Chain A
């Protein structure tokens, strides 16, 4: 067995046998799920505190007089109430407002129709929810009033009929002339997940490489090892060994996650265990000509155009037909439609291209950064000293995340373009772009730049590492590292 593979084997086995590996393997999917679900949960959290807003309505347009006295026409929510108070001047609230227990005072001036502005007074910062609700409610009310001023017969029915919500379905024509349903959100999600996973992998396992190097330095075994193997072999063995550990961990996570999702799915949503195709058929949302769940069906452009007209009716019927069926299960027709849409959107991404490019950027991104992490590890005696040296390594990673988020919205923009070529950010940024389709020359250029930088960086890292691992007790700076780089090999 070659020495490098011995080192890889040791790095891999010692890491895989650690308790922390087992724990992370089990907790990983939960942590990742929590990472996705907790922000969603917080986003859905509503303010449960009841708030009463005093309305001083000088225009009287928002006041209705019932048997119980005046009340406000603005729609209330469960937690937001309005109270019309007449005859009390605004100024009297100003002092000691907190004692009144009211949340805010809404002042509607006499000329609201012309000025189109009102004022919310409060002693606290008014939440976006409340001011947003009040604004849209007032806008709606004023629009209604203005329309009513035109004195149109049966305006209510007309308004009800005019009210429209449009569902825009994206159909992408492939070069072969096939039509595919695509949902930009899903495509974005796939790219984002790919980029984010790459980021986590680089960050988590890159720093493990660094810690491994420091461990060898502090335990002083390093000199024994490098009297048997080249420092470069030791460095590469460690990088590859840790990388394989990471891949194993990810594989376990993926299997676990699938089991977890499948388990939850069977327990709570029995319908989801049907194959996606069955779901699509069951939801009856897609006419076979428009979308191609079956790769064999090649929709002629003309056929799609012809079908498109009939689609709306079919769809409406389909949705209606779906509701009674869904009544038995727990899934509504809409959800079924979404599942089908996601499935169809995923189909627009070529899985082979996606998986291959993911593996490529994932692995080379890790290798590039792991070499840099190894350099930092070799330059210090203990982990606390890494802090000042680690910044040049972390910074491009964080930058990549920011660019990645912006690139999701504009995958063909110049920002996304340039950063998907720069090797230090391309593993993450290119991952976001690939699901949208990237010209092959850009992928080729980005990939070769990444490989070239990886080779160059590893060569440089090897030189610095070789000197760094034997240095003790010195506070290392990048100036010092530059000197090491020029020592003869």
Chain B
């Protein structure tokens, strides 16, 4: 048993009438991590989340939550914001929030106590007696978020968390999510839009066509996929730069933009970035120098290509 992990998915298989949605997928989610479940549309992410939430059952494999096979009582410890979200349109906001909180096992009194500060914090106090259909989309999303976290779950699962939210709400949500992690919650993000979560996640699983492609700590993965590519922003003669580069460095590209000129340079195996800086100092004036890290998108594409 993994004492560290809050959730462990073990060799899960799920078939839908001849089509395999998940094929032997496993993943371990460390406690208080922000875990990214990444992959293109149709890869099987939502199916996996539904299995974790016990909405659908796997054909094979197990889900271990807090060291035991997951059961009905555990739903009170999980908060799930599904990709397809919605509320009862004709029901009043406050009543609905109370109802959903009670379904998660809170007493009416506790639910009331906890909802109040959230409604104040999100400036939703005046919405309490309104019907959901009277709210704007952004307002309804806030309500939805509050109902997802109101029971203070230890595991929070967000499917496509930021799709449909406006940038202001996205920031608000990110802050709240980070705050919850600080308080001990574990978060799973699932998305096909890898750029939207890569700065938040510390662990990821990449799935494609029902299979796990790549898994682990995001820094390790980046390390594995680093390209030894550097970018330098400089002032001076670009010809001088290209002529003055030592053999172990290759100029990949030169471009000019608002901040000045920039060059992309790869270094041959064995060479060090320090050597490149020394070399550059002799031939140009460096304004900025940084390593070009592969984006999750790049890594994903590369992983898929390698896999094939």
Contact = CB atoms under 8 A, between A and B. Distances in A.
Interface of A: 1, 3, 6-7, 10, 14, 215-216, 219-221, 223-231, 466-467, 470, 472, 483, 487-489
B17 interface: yes
B55 A221 contact: no
A220 B91 contact: no
Contact of B55 (A215, A216, A470): A470
Contact of A228 (B50, B91, B104): B104
Q: How large is the interface on B (under 10, 10 to 19, 20 to 34, 35 or more residues)?
A: 20 to 34
Contacts of B81: 224
Nearest to A223: B82
Contact of A14 (B91, B100, B144): B91
Contacts of A10: 99
B78 A223 contact: no
Contacts of A215: 88
Contacts of B50: 223, 470
B53 interface: yes
A119 B82 CA distance: 80
Contacts of A221: 85-88
Contacts of B58: 488
A224 B99 contact: no
Contacts of A231: 55
Contacts of B102: 1, 6
30 contacts: A6-B102, A7-B103, A10-B99, A14-B91, A216-B88, A219-B86, A219-B88, A220-B86, A221-B87, A223-B50, A223-B80, A223-B84, A223-B85, A224-B81, A224-B82, A224-B85, A224-B144, A225-B100, A225-B103, A226-B55, A227-B53, A227-B54, A227-B75, A227-B78, A227-B80, A228-B100, A470-B55, A487-B16, A488-B57, A488-B59
B108 to A, nearest CB: 8
Interface string B99-123: 1101110000000000000000000
A394 to B, nearest CB: 27
A386 B88 CA distance: 21
A431 to B, nearest CB: 35
A224 B91 contact: no
B84 A220 contact: yes
A1 B109 CA distance: 12
B89 interface: yes
Nearest to A228: B103
A221 B148 CA distance: 12
A226 to B, nearest CB: 5
Interface in B17-73: 17, 50, 53-59, 72
B72 A6 contact: no
A229 B73 CA distance: 10
A6 B99 contact: yes
B55 to A, nearest CB: 5
B154 interface: no
A472 B104 CA distance: 25
B90 interface: yes
Interface in B132-182: 144, 147-148
B200 to A, nearest CB: 22
A6 B180 CA distance: 28
Q: Which 8 A-B pairs have the closest CB atoms?
A: A220-B86, A228-B103, A223-B82, A227-B80, A219-B86, A227-B53, A220-B84, A221-B86
B203 to A, nearest CB: 23
A318 B53 CA distance: 79
B85 A489 contact: no
Contact of B56 (A229, A470, A483): A470
Nearest to B87: A221
Contacts of B91: 14
Given A221-B85, A228-B104, 11 more contacts: A14-B91, A220-B85, A221-B87, A223-B55, A226-B55, A227-B55, A228-B103, A230-B72, A231-B55, A467-B56, A488-B58
Nearest to A229: B103
A459 to B, nearest CB: 16
Given A225-B103, A228-B100, A489 B57 contact: yes
A7 B100 CA distance: 10
Contacts of A1: 102
Contacts of B103: 3, 6-7, 225, 228-229
Nearest to B157: A227
A7 B102 CA distance: 10
B55 A14 contact: no
Interface in B281-300: none
A80 B153 CA distance: 85
B176 to A, nearest CB: 18
A259 to B, nearest CB: 31
Interface string B230-271: 000000000000000000000000000000000000000000
A470 B51 CA distance: 13
Contacts of B100: 224-225, 228
A227 B82 contact: yes
Nearest to A484: B17
B80 A224 contact: yes
Contact of B90 (A7, A14, A224, A483): A14
A6, A224, A467, A470: residue with the most chain B Cβ atoms closer than 10 Å? A224
B134 to A, nearest CB: 14
Contacts of A219: 86-89
A10 B88 CA distance: 11
Contacts of B87: 219, 221, 224
B89 A224 contact: no
A476 to B, nearest CB: 13
A7 B88 CA distance: 13
B16, B59, B103, B147: residue with the most chain A Cβ atoms closer than 10 Å? B103
Nearest to B17: A483
B82 to A, nearest CB: 4
Nearest to B104: A228
Nearest to B80: A227
Contacts of A470: 50, 55-56
A226 B82 CA distance: 11
A236 to B, nearest CB: 14
